[in-house]
Amino acid sequence: MEYEGNFYPVREELSPMIAPVETRLDQLESLAATTLIAIRGLGNRQDTTLLAIQGLANRQEATSLTIQELADRQEASQKRLDSEHDRFGGFDQRMDRLSVKLEEVGDRLDRVSLQQELNGQQIASNAAGIVELRNLVADLVRGQG
């Protein structure tokens, strides 16, 4: 083989050895491209997973806020209930005082009633006495007349 100023004769000689290497290089390039696509797919899956995890974290935070909001509402309701209880507790005390006053008024009415009854008896007794006196006066007037 003579040197002709170019490498074509060498290439032709090496061509049977180069062809499998080129085929193998093409296969490796294809495998590298497939691997790169797979890596991108994994990256996308990782991004999707991270987004899902973030979504779950957001939901958990929202749930925590909702739980806190419910706890705050329950606390406010309990305060209102306690306030109402205190208010009605005061109402109960006023009702107790009113009951005592009503009992006192009832006792006074009983005494007034008893007094009126005694007064009525006294009036009846006085009326009987007056009638008796009138009869005596009438008897005296008749007796003198």
pLDDT value of residue 42? 85
> Of 22 and 6, which is predicted with more confidence?
22
pLDDT in tens, 84-119: 877 777 777 888 889 999 999 999 999 999 999 999
pLDDT at 6 exceeding the cut of 70:
no
CA 126 – CA 116 distance, rounded (Å) = 14
pLDDT in tens, 27-77: 999 998 998 888 888 888 888 888 888 988 888 888 888 888 989 999 999
Phi, psi of 5 (to 5 degrees): 95, -5
DSSP-assigned letters across all residues of 53-109: HHHHHHHHHHHHHHHHHHHHHHHHHHHHHHHHHHHHHHHHHHHHHHHHHHHHHHHHH
pLDDT value of residue 112? 92
pLDDT value of residue 1? 47
pLDDT value of residue 7? 55
Confidence of residue 8 (pLDDT cuts 50, 70, 90): low
Confidence of residue 2 (pLDDT cuts 50, 70, 90): low
Domain ranges of the chain: 1-105
Global pTM value: 0.37
pLDDT value of residue 100? 92
